[in-house]
Structure formats: structure tokens, C-alpha cells
Structure 1
Amino acid sequence: MDPVLVLVLTLSSLLLLSLWRQSSGRGKLPPGPTPLPIIGNALQIYMKDIGQSIKKFSKVYGPVFTLYLGMKPFVVLHGYEAVKEALVDLGEEFSGRGSFPISERINKGLGVIFSNGMQWKEIRRFSIMTLRTFGMGKRTIEDRIQEEAQCLVEELRKSKGAPFDPTFILGCAPCNVICSIIFQNRFDYKDPTFLNLMHRFNENFRLFSSPWLQVCNTFPAIIDYFPGSHNQILKNFFYIKNYVLEKVKEHQESLDKDNPRDFIDCFLNKMEQVKYYLLCCII
């Protein structure tokens, strides 16, 4: 068969499939601009100012409308009243998360940030409970915040009143509080390991909000077969994950079940309790 004919038939099949999928699901979704086959509403969104595009659509279709990124539909909520109704008044019904292929590739759908369904609810419930009752040791969360605030003030004084950009230092402070809660210790602002972690976190936050990552999440095949910034995100996450796993091993070796020192200790205790419960159920 002629290769050109094969190409034409393939493209035609993809177009028909795209039209069928979009038309079959649109009756159940809020109104929105008519999507094009395969690329959806991508050409109708001004990527340099997505907020302005959303505002423009809301004037035409109301505060709740549907946009297609590729062949995948997204329901958009615009305005305080619509967001409040969904996230506050109907918070339980809207507590689920969408599918993000790049994040699923990183953590296989596990963890506090990337998990979903009942698993996410259980981990979230445990995390909130642990943070609320973290006065179990000699230092509470408030103590850690006050200590970090003093360190931040000392770091700012080093400028001796000269003008400088405080963005990085102000980002280090909350990150250090989180580290002290999770790992039991804070880092010096010039610590190479801490600077490396901060750089990788900041780089990932920047890349996650880039248009290219939206393309990757819309067309997941790109993640495996094309070069791009998504590969750097994967490298950064694997580095951070390996660092955390090393800390977990250190905690396992020195764990005192009756005196948890930080979040990792509490999590390890919870894991043992779940194992014991499952064993009792089996017996």
C-alpha cells in the first residue's frame, strides 16, 4: 500500500477518534469553546497570559466551563463564588485529584502530593493529625518556627543595610522549618546539600508551570520518547527521593518507638502499626 495513503488513513482515523471522544463526553460537561481535533482549545488560549484567557472565556460561558487541552477535558472554575462552592461547600465531593502523567511517572501515584482516592485521604489524615499533635517531643512546631525566624533575622543583618534581593533567603526559611519537622534538623543557609535541594525544588516548580509540561501532561507519550525539560524534572525528583530514602534508613537504625523525634519517626511507627493490624487480621 502506498505510504502516503497509509499516512492519510492514519491521520483521518485519529481525527475521527478525537471528534468522537470529544462529542461523546461534551453532553455531560459544562459549556465551553468548541475544541479542535487532537489539539483541543490550545490555539484559543494565550499561553503568555492564561489568566486573561480564562477571564475572557468566563464572560462568554459563565464561571464554570470546559476547556480541552489536547483531547482531555478540564472543567475550569472562575471567580470566588464558584471556587468556594466547589472547595468549601462541596469540599468532600471535590477532594479528588486529576491525572498528571509526569507526576505519576515520578512517584507511581504515591505520597502526600501525588496520591489520589482513599490512599490520599488516609495519608492526608495521618499527616494533619501528626502535625497537629507534634508537641510530643521536647520541641513543638512553634519552637522550630521561632528558632528559624531568629536565624533569618541574623542572615538579613549580614547585608548591613545594603540593598539585596531577599527572595532566596525568604524561601530558605520555610523550607528549613519543614526540614526540621521531617528530618529533626535544620540546615545552614550556606550548606551545599541544602543549596542543592533548594535549587532542585525551585527548578522543578518553575518547570512544572511551563507550557511544555502542560503539553507533556496532555500527550504522555512525549515523556518516554522525546527530549525536553521533563527529563530534568525526573532527575531532580529522583535525587530528592534518594536523599529522603537515606534519611529514612538513618531513622530506622536509631528509631525509638516511644519517643518519636520527627515526622519520619511517626510515619515509621504508623507503618509498624499497620503491619501489626494486618497480621492480626490474617491470623
Structure 2
Amino acid sequence: MEDPYSSFKELAKKYGPVYSLKMGVQKMVVLCGYETMKEALVNHAEEFADRPALPVFLDIARGYGLIFSNGHNWRTLKRFTISTLRDFGMGKRTLEDKINEESNRLVETFKSYKGEPFDNKMIMNAAVSNIIVSIILGHRFDYDDPKLQRLLTIITDSARIAGSPMAQLYNAFPSLMRWIPGSHQTIRPSVDEIHSFIRKIFTKQKEQLDVNDRRSLIDCFLVRQKEEKPNPELYFHDENLTSLVADLFAAGMESTSTSLRWGLLLMMKYPDIQEKVQKEIEKVIGSAEPQLVHRQHMPYTDAVTHEILRFSLVTPFSTRQTTQDVTLKGFFIPKGTPIIVSLTSVLRDPKYFKKPYEFYPEHFLDSDGNFVKSEAFIPFSLGRRSCAGENLAKMELFFFFTKLLQNFTFKAPPGAKLDLNPIVGITLSPQNHEICAIPHN
């Protein structure tokens, strides 16, 4: 499975693991290969800790929130987010129960199709989004709730558009492209619609706020807002809350849901692998509810979920910006230089993965069938800007994937061809397709 971001890796063969290129008027530096990435993002973590102020990112977040902000604002919100996610169960049994409850609802929805073909995109998006939504808002949505459906549509469309050629032209020539019609012009109004929805929610929660009964991440933020002493650098303000909730909602849904959809597509493509996973589920879990402790006794399933994340390349690159002058691999990189981190170059590296372009769970198994880690497995990136929700995403993937294969065998509709070429955006998602979920009882 090739993707357009592989060109960064190909250029590295000619120019080395650190090289610069010009996108319009903007000069950028590209980092390729695990050793280079580790040296930059881990050994020089502070120097590579910012995000570039690209026009598309500014339209999405205006410099607020978690994903696209910098400096003290980003550090403050990251500390708050990680501690609040832990408070609401990340890595704990309470969150396991929540994910299991949601996966049971997903199973019932899949069963309602009685083995007939259906498109699982919006259903999967809704199920996965309900986990982060329950943490952020304190409640879940029904899958067919029109508000949820609208938000999910905006997020998936925006993720595709933000990685499109028009958006890249916009980033390269912002002053010109602001006046030219195209899909890049739809991002700002779409984000405004999401932000309006979020503001209505937290305005209502402000009125009902009980500082002694914090039911959600929004409640925790509003309490901090009350506690924050007036000073020139306020961080717990409404603009940050709006962007933070939008960031978590989008990041908490898009990548995990897309990974799960790749997972089911790959199980249809490789029924022998699907059967091996199901045999291990039957042996270790049987008909019981999956628990996180089961994973350590399920090396093959663990290897398959890792290989889904590696092979699907949902996030093919990440971005950084240098916070100060830095020398890397003998090259001087000035402060404020935008950096493209090619995750593709690591996750497709034959030095670490024997069959980089094939779906091969044995990448994560030794000769005795035991699970083995790979240092080059970095789908969530490295360093200060690595995904704050990595542990939550891995939990969700294990629980949803295991529960679905515990209850169904997935097959392609009669006559359908399974296309593994991705739809390109900020994330790489599967082509539109239908699945048949054949119930086990």
C-alpha cells in the first residue's frame, strides 16, 4: 500500500535523513528515519517542541487549545489534559467498563444488519467518539443523534480537506489562496460550527456547575477557570476551552475509528489472520467481557492490533517547529523553522520491519509466538508532542477490535473488491466500502 507521503522517504534516499524543501515561500526541514527522529524529538525535545503556525492550523485553532498551540499555553493545557484524563479513568478499570458498555452497543448495532452489507464508517465514528465525549461532556450520544452525526461529518470532511492539495497550496501561498475559491475555504466555517456547539454546552454547564461534583473534563476546566487568579497570562479562558474540547473530540475519534475500520477491512482481506485472532479470543476470553489483563495472554491479537496501526499509517507525518537554533546531524536549523516528521519513513523501514509494505503481524512476534516490541513502532510520534491520548487509543483499539471479532466474522459483500489504497487527508483512511458482519450465534 503506497501513499503520497512516501515521497519524503524516497527523497531521503537521495538527500539523506535531514533535508530542506520549499513549499511556496516557506522553507521546511524534513526528518526521516528512526535514529534521526529519536535524536531530534527525544534528545533535543525542547528545541523541537513547537507547532508551526500554518494557515490551515490557524484557521482550525487560532493558536488556542492543545494540538496547535505553543509555549506556556500548550504546556499548561497538556498538564491539565493528561491529569484530567487520568482522573476520569485512563488506564483504570472504570474506563474499561465504559469502553465495554459502548462496544456492547456497537455489537447490537452490527447485529441489526443480520449479516447484510453495510457501511460502518459513521457507526464506528459514533461509537469511538462516545468514549472521549463521555469524559469531556459527562454523557454519550445515540448513534443516530443528528447533532453527533453533523459533528462527525464535519470532522471527517475537515481532516480530509486539511490534507488536500488545495490546503497545501493555501499553506504555501496564503495571501493568494485566501481569495481563490476551493475546499480550503470550507474549513473555517466548519470549525466555527463546531465551536458554536461546544460553547452552548459549556455555557449551560457553567450555570449548573458544582465545584464539589466534577462530572466531566469541562467541569474540571470551569473550576480551574474560577480558581485562576487574574494576571496577564490567563490559560483557563473560554477560547482555550472551546479549542481544547474540539481538539480532544476530533483526535479522540478520528484516528482510533479510522484504525478500527482499517482493522476490519484487513480481517476481511486476510481471513486466515482473522481466524487466528478468533481462536485466541476463544481460548483466553471465551464469551466473557474482554479485560485489559487479557491482552498480556493474547500475543497474536496484540501483534495484529500493533500491525494494524503500523500498516494503515493513519497518521503518516507530524509537524514541529524549532523553538531555538539547533544543530542536527551536522545541519544548522534556525529558530522558527517548520519541521515535517515523516512517520512513514520509520513505519515502512525494512531495517525494522521485514515486510514493510505487507500486513504481517509477525513483525511483532518472536519465533516462539511471543509478543515483541519494536523501538521503531511510533504511530503516535515521539517526544513532547507525541499523542497525549496514546494509552486511551490503544485501550480502545484492543477492546473494540476484540469484542467485534468475539461476536462476528467479517466478510466482504459478494463480488466486492477490497481496495487497500487510502483516501488522503491529514489522516489516511480506507476507501468507502461495505462490510458483512456474520454473527457467531
> TM tier, shorter chain?
0.7 to 0.9
The change in CA–CA distance for 1:64 and 1:127 in structure 2 (over 3 A counts) is same
Q: Which residue of 2 aligns with 1:158?
A: 112
> How far has the Cα of 1:97 moved from its partner?
0.9
Q: Determine the C-alpha separation between the residues in 1 that align with 2:119 and 2:210.
A: 43
Give the counterpart of 1:208 among 162, 167, 175.
Answer: 162
Q: Determine the C-alpha separation between the residues in 1 that align with 2:108 and 2:79.
A: 36
Q: Percent of aligned positions with the same letter in both sequences? A: 42
8 Å Cα contact 2:209-2:219 kept in structure 1 = yes
> How far has the Cα of 1:202 moved from its partner?
0.6
Q: Determine the C-alpha separation between the residues in 2 that align with 1:158 and 1:81.
A: 49
Corresponding position: 1:244 with 2:198:
yes
Corresponding position: 1:100 with 2:57:
no
Offset from partner CA, 1:61-81 (integer Å, 9 cap, x none)? 111111110121111111222
Q: Determine the C-alpha separation between the residues in 2 that align with 1:87 and 1:120.
A: 17
The change in CA–CA distance for 1:222 and 1:143 in structure 2 (over 3 A counts) is farther
Q: Which residue of 2 aligns with 1:13?
A: none
> Number of matched residues?
229
The change in CA–CA distance for 1:254 and 1:140 in structure 2 (over 3 A counts) is farther
- More relative contact order, 1 or 2 (CA 8 Å, 6+ apart): 2
SS in 1 for 2:27: strand
Deviates more, 1:223-232 or 1:201-210: 223-232
> How far has the Cα of 1:106 moved from its partner?
4.0
Q: Which residue of 2 aligns with 1:119?
A: 73
Q: Which residue of 2 aligns with 1:84?
A: 38
Consecutive aligned runs of 4 or more in structure 1 exceeding 4 Å deviation: none
> How far has the Cα of 1:212 moved from its partner?
0.7
> How far has the Cα of 1:135 moved from its partner?
4.8
Structure with the largest fraction of helix: 1
> Which residue identity is paired with 1:189?
Y
Give the counterpart of 1:149 among 94, 100, 103.
Answer: 103
SS in 2 for 1:122: helix
Q: Which residue of 1 aligns with 2:216?
A: 262
Q: Determine the C-alpha separation between the residues in 2 that align with 1:127 and 1:81.
A: 29
Offset from partner CA, 1:146-205 (integer Å, 9 cap, x none)? 221111111111111223332332222221111111111111111111111111111001
Structure with the largest fraction of strand: 2
> Which residue identity is paired with 1:101?
P
Q: Determine the C-alpha separation between the residues in 1 that align with 2:12 and 2:52.
A: 21
SS in 1 for 2:49: coil
Q: Determine the C-alpha separation between the residues in 2 that align with 1:94 and 1:82.
A: 12
> How far has the Cα of 1:91 moved from its partner?
2.7
Q: Which residue of 2 aligns with 1:4?
A: none
Offset from partner CA, 1:89-138 (integer Å, 9 cap, x none)? 333332211111222234321111221122111111111111112259xx
**Structure number with bigger Rg:** 1
8 Å Cα contact 2:170-2:178 kept in structure 1 = no
Corresponding position: 1:185 with 2:139:
yes
> Which residue identity is paired with 1:200?
I
Q: Determine the C-alpha separation between the residues in 1 that align with 2:135 and 2:195.
A: 17
> Which residue identity is paired with 1:124?
K
Question: TM-score scaled to structure 1, two decimals?
Answer: 0.75
CA RMSD of aligned residues (A): 2.2
8 Å Cα contact 1:102-1:223 kept in structure 2 = no
> How far has the Cα of 1:264 moved from its partner?
0.3
> Which residue identity is paired with 2:181?
P
8 Å Cα contact 1:216-1:223 kept in structure 2 = yes
Q: Determine the C-alpha separation between the residues in 2 that align with 1:157 and 1:188.
A: 16
Corresponding position: 1:235 with 2:189:
yes
The change in CA–CA distance for 1:60 and 1:135 in structure 2 (over 3 A counts) is closer
Corresponding position: 1:72 with 2:48:
no
Corresponding position: 1:253 with 2:207:
yes
SS in 2 for 1:113: coil
The change in CA–CA distance for 1:161 and 1:58 in structure 2 (over 3 A counts) is same
Q: Determine the C-alpha separation between the residues in 1 that align with 2:76 and 2:167.
A: 29
**1:16-95 paired onto structure 2 within 5 Å:** 49-95=3-49
8 Å Cα contact 2:169-2:177 kept in structure 1 = no
Q: Determine the C-alpha separation between the residues in 2 that align with 1:95 and 1:155.
A: 42
Question: TM-score scaled to structure 2, two decimals?
Answer: 0.49
> How far has the Cα of 1:262 moved from its partner?
0.2
Q: Which residue of 2 aligns with 1:271?
A: 225
**1:3-18 paired onto structure 2 within 5 Å:** none
Deviates more, 1:107-116 or 1:219-228: 219-228
Any gaps of 5 or more consecutive residues in structure 2?
233-441
> Which residue identity is paired with 1:256?
D
Any gaps of 5 or more consecutive residues in structure 1?
1-47, 279-283
Corresponding position: 1:224 with 2:204:
no
Q: Determine the C-alpha separation between the residues in 2 that align with 1:221 and 1:49.
A: 29
